[in-house]
Amino acid sequence: MEKFELFDRKTQAIIYGFQQAAIQRMIDFDYLCRREIPSIAAVIRPTQDAAIAYHKVFWGSKEIVVPVYKTLQMAIKKHPNADVMINFSSFRSAYPTSKEALESDTIRTVAIIAEGMPERQSRHLLKIAEEKDKIIIGPATVGGIRAGAFKIGNSAGTTENIILSKLYRPGSIGFVSKSGGLSNEMNFMIAQNTDGIYEGIAIGGDRYPGSRLVDHLMRYEANPKIKMLVSLGEIGGKDEYDIVNALKSGKVTKPLVIWVAGTAAKILPSGLQFGHAGAMAGSDMETAEAKNKALRDAGAIVPDSYEDLDKRIRETFEKLKQEGKVTPIEEIEPPEIPIDFGDATRMGLVRRSSDVIVTISDDRGDVPTFAGVGLDTIIRESKSIGYVIGLLWFKRELPEFAQQFIEIVVKLTADHGPAVSGAHNAIITARAGKDLMSALASGILTIGPRFGGAISDAAKYIREALQKGMQPQEFVNYMKDVVNINIPGIGHRIKSVQNPDVRVQLLKEFVFKNFQKHPHLDLALEVEKITTSKRNNLILNVDGCIGITFLDLLENLDFSPEEIEDVIYSEALNGLFVLGRSIGMMGHIFDQKRQRAGLYRQPWDEILFSE
Amino acid sequence: MAQKNIYEYDAKKLLASQLPKYYPKFEYHDKLAIVQSDTDLNQLISVETWIKSEKLVAKPDQLFGKRGKANLLLLDANFDEMKQFCRNNLDKVFEIGNVRGELNRLLIEPFIPHEKEYYVSITSDRENDIIHFSFEGGIFIEENWDKVYHIPVPLGIDINTFDLLSKMPDLGDLKDILIPFIKALFQVYIDQDFAFLEINPFAITGDKKIVPLDVKARLDDTAAFLHQDTWGNPDNPIEFPAGFGQKSTIEEDRIRDLDEKTGASLKLKILNKNGRVWTMVAGGGASVIYTDTVVDLGLGKELGNYGEYSGNPSREHTEIYAQTIIDLITENPDLQGKPKYLIIGGGIANFTDVKVTFTGIVSAIKNSVDKLKKANVKIFVRRGGPNEKQGLEMMEKVGKETGIPIEVFDRYTHMTRVVELIKKAEEGKT
């Protein structure tokens, strides 16, 4: 690569900052230009944990990966061929990161995108660049483009724009401006009026740009493929006088069309700061008029106003053509870039079947909704936990009595002391130093046919009996002779007819008072009469009562028989037990953790060792 | 985000706190007070007791010089004279240069009797920070500019090892005071990211102390984050006042606040509230060019504002920005019912999403249909960039739906041609 070139079709850059959109746009440009290798060698993402990660980008319709490093140092070492760094870091860290790149052996060009770098920092950087014979583009710029070869970051916008401005192949105009926004406007204007851009750079609107307009114009002057120069200057600073001097001393010989913006300043309040930091005239010399005049006097082609810029560019180019100084370009067709799936979907061009259907909640809006009810409403109207369970488990607003029933069940099942298998497992696991989630899971995993299982089994068999129209005695016999197990939900170790379980009494009272019908409970109580006549502790226990009254609850809601079947099939009853008991198990886990209880080991005297 | 002027009071306070770090002999009195129309003088003198006991200087502190010539400099005064001076001048309108403005800030400090006035300033260019020094300070500096020493100090040079004395050979006995003072000043200038610092004049008292009399300074406000312990303290940042007579409006303040909150850029300066041509232009460079073209085509007197939005602002922020400008353009309909023109302009954006930003502008238009019609506002749109088609179609549609005249142009129309169309419309009218 000649010294006057910054980029060619083999140039690779290191991107500082994980700018996914800019990265993809650069790679799309590469594909459009039919580059052989992508223009990005590596990305630096200082916030990541991994030393090296990988980022997927599209190369046409295929995917390729770009390595993402934690440090610039590592990227430079692994990619010695990358001689450009595009620095997207913020104004706070743009200085140290750019300095590191400039001081490296391999990076030759640094583009600084951040706006608001302190002027002294910019000046220190440009001094380093000068000493090391390196180039800074920026700060406060979008960068630039070498048509058909290399594009800095977001320069030149979308693929559509690149095609309209023919930036996928070189023309013969060298362009440089202060403004990044206008550079893209100029890319298009130049394409409309000439054979297009060869290279276009935006140096940024700061007072101390790392490279100046004249630096790039001198490169273009030296480049035999560039036939004509176009530039846009701005009010403020004296950099345009370097161009005047270059014209006067014959260092710039190619036709130069240039306009210095900011002529309006004369009628505006003195000292008005335009959008760019450097755009304020500190002296008469720095006004746009003075600069335009000096440039015109030195031989540049300066329009009377920006309005005529396109005409001057066209005229100048036509003249070069007539003089035979530009050779016609053979137009090429750039490859098509496939449209992004997201864009295509938005435009209604493609459709894709979804993978999951969700019917209970939606978090896409401002406020999450549960079965259509906004979470804000639930909070504002002080809805109960039973209400929320109704929405998320049964997709409906449950009546008051049903909410209360659910909460009673949650309370009744919340804990049953430390000795039952769930709490015991949770305690042991917590004491083994495991985290909350592991300890809770180990407790929950004991819930099944033996522990907590009586609830769902009691419901299952009573339901079967009722559906088959069995008489109480018939059911007792069926359980004994056919199923061949003790009736689930019947029997208690201590409690008896004479010493009833108060929990069962309360639940029954609630059901009798609030449920219009309770056929399952009625049948169960008939069965209890038979069993207690055999032994006085064969009473309906709390597990059985919960399972059976839950069936009655469903009978009292506007559930169809098919829906009731679905509720039972979906294990909602187990859900209630898991929900309630998790409260207690977590309590036990917190209790052990608070005490910093040590590892549990079952004492030998609890174990019989035997052959 | 650029070089910003600061008050003389703040500049002196900053020097008082920073200079002794490098020049311990700088025993600056640090007696400074600001009097404004709402200042409780009794309370002030209870804190700044020297005001009652010492001879005083009083002068405006509103970013303009030549205060002696404007008869706004009170010297060698006692407390009563100072009070009288404040009463006579505060809240009065003065014309300074060509700018009319209200005087509402006076700096009070002790009067320092002195015979000779010296000049020192520091400026910067790309490669150097430049010390300017002269024995002929004060009001004579301009006519004696050829006698000023200009000493460039290349960037990165340690001023302590820099041979300043050989560059100013005729300091005589004063060198033992002046060299360390100027070097310290230079250090502070660099340390604190000054962009310009001028002490004109300073005096050397009988006991060989240096006293800055008048100070002008600019800071590089982009460096604020480096100076959180001094002027860039986010809880108590230094003030960057507007120039004399340039009070910022509520609308300008609102946009400045918004600008500070986002990574994008939003700027607004109202030039003429009754203007009939207003701009809402995307891009720092394009906004200047639109403004130029309005002026070049002879519509400068009608220009309502300067402003720009860029850096891909959100839909919400663009809407607030657009609403602010629409409110301004519709606030005072033309008395003779002449049309007003709003230019929604811009080049071809690199990455600012035209659809997103135009969605914000369109909702502001929809919110203001009656106002816009009442003020007879005609809107001209020209823009390109990501999603330009959808954005421009949206503008066409809102014009048709609301009946507001909106002419929409795409990238194939020269960026500023809409200004010419406005001019033609005006010529057709008059």
Task: Give A382's contacts (C-beta < 8 A, 6+ positions apart).
Answer: none
For residue range A125-144, list pLDDT tens digits in order: 999 999 999 999 999 999 99
Is B161 part of any domain? yes
> Stretch A138-159: mean pLDDT, rounded?
95
Domain count, chain A: 3
- Angle (nearest 5°) at CA A277 between A274 and A281: 65
Rounded to 10 degrees, the C-alpha dihedral A368/A373/A374/A377 comes to -150
Judge whether residue A280 has pLDDT over 80.
no
Inter-chain CB proximity B222 and A278 less than 8 Å: no
Mean residue pLDDT across chain A: 94
For residue range A524-575, list pLDDT tens digits in order: 999 999 999 999 999 999 999 999 999 999 999 989 999 999 998 999 998 9
Which residue of chain B is at minimal alpha-carbon distance from A160? B386
Regarding whether B375 and B261 lie in a shared domain, the answer is yes
Q: Note if A416 is an active site residue.
A: no
* A177 interface with B at CB cutoff 8 Å: yes
Residues of A whose CB is below 8 A from B285:
177-182, 205, 232, 234, 261, 275-276
Q: Could you give the residue ranges of the DSSP H alpha helices within B95-152?
A: none
Distances (CA, A) of B91 to B38, B61, B248: 10, 13, 17
Residues of B whose CB is below 8 A from A262:
288, 292
Is A513 part of any domain? yes
Q: What is the pLDDT, as a whole number, of residue A278?
A: 62
Is B191 part of any domain? yes
- Percent of chain A beyond pLDDT 90? 87
CB A167 within 8 A of CB A146: no
Regarding whether A266 and A148 lie in a shared domain, the answer is yes
For residue range A287-296, list pLDDT tens digits in order: 999 999 999 9
Inter-chain CB proximity A115 and B267 less than 8 Å: no
Mean residue pLDDT across chain B: 93
Judge whether residue B30 has pLDDT over 90.
no
Regarding whether B196 and B74 lie in a shared domain, the answer is no
Judge whether residue A273 has pLDDT over 70.
no
Cα of B42 to nearest chain A Cα, Å: 37
Regarding whether A380 and A243 lie in a shared domain, the answer is no
Residues 234-273 of A with CB under 8 A from B: 234-235, 261-264, 266-273
Residues of B whose CB is below 8 A from A187:
348
Is B243 part of any domain? no
Is A403 part of any domain? yes
Q: In 3D, which of A525, A507, A514 has the Cα closest to residue A555?
A: A514
Inter-chain CB proximity B246 and A261 less than 8 Å: no
For residue range B211-262, list pLDDT tens digits in order: 999 999 999 999 999 999 999 999 999 999 988 888 888 999 999 999 988 8
Residues of B whose CB is below 8 A from A277:
1-3, 222
Regarding whether B305 and B158 lie in a shared domain, the answer is no
Last residue of a domain, one of A371, A388, A409: A409
Residues in chain B: 430
Q: What is the pLDDT, as a whole number, of residue B29?
A: 80
Q: Identify the domain containing residue B98 by its residue range.
A: 33-110
Nearest to A267 among B300, B308, B386 (CB): B300
Regarding whether B118 and B100 lie in a shared domain, the answer is no
Is A336 part of any domain? no
Q: What is the pLDDT, as a whole number, of residue B44?
A: 93
Regarding whether A205 and A80 lie in a shared domain, the answer is yes
* A127 interface with B at CB cutoff 8 Å: yes
Regarding whether A152 and A182 lie in a shared domain, the answer is yes
Residue B346 φ/ψ, nearest 5 degrees = 160, 160
DSSP B344-392: EEE-B-SSS-HHHHHHHHHHHHHTTHHHHHHTTEEEEEE-BSTTHHHHH
Inter-chain CB proximity B155 and A205 less than 8 Å: no
Inter-chain CB proximity B350 and A119 less than 8 Å: no
Last residue of a domain, one of A409, A426, A446: A409
* A310 interface with B at CB cutoff 8 Å: yes
Which residue of chain A is at minimal alpha-carbon distance from B289? A261
Per-residue pLDDT band for A175 (boundaries 50, 70, 90) equals very high
Is A529 part of any domain? yes
Nearest to A181 among B267, B350, B417 (CB): B350
CATH number where B92 lies: 3.30.1490.20
Regarding whether B378 and B311 lie in a shared domain, the answer is yes
Residues 405-424 of A with CB under 8 A from B: none
Residues of B whose CB is below 8 A from A273:
2
Residues of B whose CB is below 8 A from A271:
243
Regarding whether A366 and A217 lie in a shared domain, the answer is no
* B126 interface with A at CB cutoff 8 Å: yes
| Cβ pairs bridging A and B (under 8 Å) | 192
Cα of A278 to nearest chain B Cα, Å: 7
Judge whether residue B140 has pLDDT over 90.
no
Helices (H) and strands (E) in chain B, counts: 12, 19
Q: What is the pLDDT, as a whole number, of residue A265?
A: 84
Is B212 part of any domain? yes
* A277 interface with B at CB cutoff 8 Å: yes
Domain count, chain B: 3
Quickly count: other Cβ atoms within 10 Å of residue A54's Cβ: 11
Which residue of chain B is at minimal alpha-carbon distance from A311? B414
Task: Give B223's contacts (C-beta < 8 A, 6+ positions apart).
Answer: A118, A119, A120, A121, B193, B232
Per-residue pLDDT band for A281 (boundaries 50, 70, 90) equals low
Residue B319 φ/ψ, nearest 5 degrees = -65, -45
CB B385 within 8 A of CB B350: yes
Nearest to B414 among A177, A205, A310 (CB): A310
Q: What is the pLDDT, as a whole number, of residue B96?
A: 86
Per-residue pLDDT band for A266 (boundaries 50, 70, 90) equals confident
Inter-chain CB proximity B271 and A269 less than 8 Å: yes
Q: Identify the domain containing residue A55 by its residue range.
A: 13-322
Is B241 part of any domain? no
Judge whether residue A282 has pLDDT over 70.
no
Retrieve residue A217's tokens: 């114009």
> Stretch B119-144: mean pLDDT, rounded?
92
3-state secondary structure of A523: helix
Regarding whether A501 and A402 lie in a shared domain, the answer is no
Q: How far apart are CA A67 and CA B287, in angstroms?
A: 39
Regarding whether A423 and A393 lie in a shared domain, the answer is no
Task: Give A258's contacts (C-beta < 8 A, 6+ positions apart).
Answer: A229, A230, A231, A232, A233, A240, A243, A295, A300, A301, A302
Last residue of a domain, one of B110, B143, B164: B110
Regarding whether A303 and A368 lie in a shared domain, the answer is no
Is A554 part of any domain? yes
DSSP A181-244: HHHHHHHHHHHHHSS-EEEEEE--SSSS-SS-HHHHHHHHHH-TT--EEEEEEESSSSTHHHHH
Is B242 part of any domain? no
Residues of B whose CB is below 8 A from A310:
414
Nearest to B350 among A184, A192, A280 (CB): A184
Is A174 part of any domain? yes
* B228 interface with A at CB cutoff 8 Å: no
Retrieve residue A273's tokens: 């700061």
Residues of B whose CB is below 8 A from A179:
283-286
Residues of A whose CB is below 8 A from B411:
164, 188
CATH number where B257 lies: 3.40.50.261
For residue range B326-363, list pLDDT tens digits in order: 999 999 999 999 999 999 999 999 889 999 999 999 99
Regarding whether B385 and B292 lie in a shared domain, the answer is yes
Last residue of a domain, one of A264, A298, A322: A322
Regarding whether B195 and B255 lie in a shared domain, the answer is no
CB A180 within 8 A of CB A143: yes
Regarding whether A431 and A403 lie in a shared domain, the answer is no
Regarding whether B168 and B262 lie in a shared domain, the answer is no
**Locate tokens 């409309």: which residue?**
A192
Measured in Å, how far apart are chain B's first and last C-alpha atoms?
A: 41
At CB < 8 A and 24+ separation, what contacts does A480-487 make? A487/A458, A487/A461, A487/A527, A487/A531
CA dihedral (B350, B355, B356, B357) positive or negative: positive
Q: How far apart are CA B277 and CA B425, in angstroms?
A: 12
For residue range A32-52, list pLDDT tens digits in order: 999 999 999 999 999 999 999
Which residue of chain B is at minimal alpha-carbon distance from A209? B126
ipTM surpasses cut 0.90? yes
Regarding whether A391 and A436 lie in a shared domain, the answer is no
Last residue of a domain, one of B193, B227, B261: B227
**DSSP category for residue B219:** E
Catalytic residue among A55, A216, A276, A520: A276
Q: How far apart are CA A480 and CA B87, in angstroms?
A: 109
> How, if at all, do strands B74-77 and B340-346 pair?
unpaired
* B195 interface with A at CB cutoff 8 Å: yes
CATH number where B138 lies: 3.30.470.20
Cα of A142 to nearest chain B Cα, Å: 8
- Find which of A23, A95, A99, A119 to mutate to test the B interface (most B CBs within 10 Å of its CB): A119
For residue range A50-102, list pLDDT tens digits in order: 999 999 999 999 999 999 999 999 999 999 999 999 999 999 999 999 999 99
Q: What is the pLDDT, as a whole number, of residue B25?
A: 85
Nearest to B349 among A127, A157, A235 (CB): A157
* B256 interface with A at CB cutoff 8 Å: no
> Stretch A24-28: mean pLDDT, rounded?
96
Residues of B whose CB is below 8 A from A128:
none
Q: Quick one: residue A64, left, alpha or beta (phi over 0 = left, psi -120 to 50 = alpha)?
A: beta
Regarding whether B359 and B272 lie in a shared domain, the answer is yes
Residues of B whose CB is below 8 A from A124:
155-156
Is A347 part of any domain? no
Q: What is the pLDDT, as a whole number, of residue A450?
A: 84
Regarding whether A489 and A381 lie in a shared domain, the answer is no
Q: What is the pLDDT, as a whole number, of residue B242?
A: 85
Q: What is the pLDDT, as a whole number, of residue A347?
A: 84
Which residue of chain A is at minimal alpha-carbon distance from B271? A268
Regarding whether B266 and B371 lie in a shared domain, the answer is yes
Judge whether residue B430 has pLDDT over 60.
no
Q: Return the bridge partners of B309, or none.
A: B266, B282
Which residue of chain A is at minimal alpha-carbon distance from B100? A269
Is B203 part of any domain? yes
Task: Give B350's contacts (C-beta < 8 A, 6+ positions apart).
Answer: A142, A154, A155, A156, A157, A180, A181, A183, A184, B385
Which residue of chain B is at minimal alpha-carbon distance from A152? B350
* A20 interface with B at CB cutoff 8 Å: no
For residue range A383-422, list pLDDT tens digits in order: 999 999 999 999 999 999 999 999 999 999 999 999 999 9
Amino acid, single-letter form, for residue B427: E
For residue range A429-454, list pLDDT tens digits in order: 999 999 999 999 999 999 988 888 88
> How, if at all, do strands A369-370 and A373-374 pair?
antiparallel
Task: Give A358's contacts (C-beta < 8 A, 6+ positions apart).
Answer: none
Q: How far apart are CA B109 and CA B93, in angstroms?
A: 23
Is A348 part of any domain? no
Last residue of a domain, one of B68, B95, B110: B110
Judge whether residue A10 has pLDDT over 60.
yes
* A80 interface with B at CB cutoff 8 Å: no
Q: What is the pLDDT, as a whole number, of residue A276?
A: 64
Regarding whether B164 and B223 lie in a shared domain, the answer is yes
Judge whether residue A267 has pLDDT over 80.
no
Inter-chain CB proximity B2 and A261 less than 8 Å: no
Regarding whether B206 and B257 lie in a shared domain, the answer is no
Judge whether residue A271 has pLDDT over 70.
no
Regarding whether A380 and A433 lie in a shared domain, the answer is no
Residues 85-114 of B with CB under 8 A from A: 97, 99
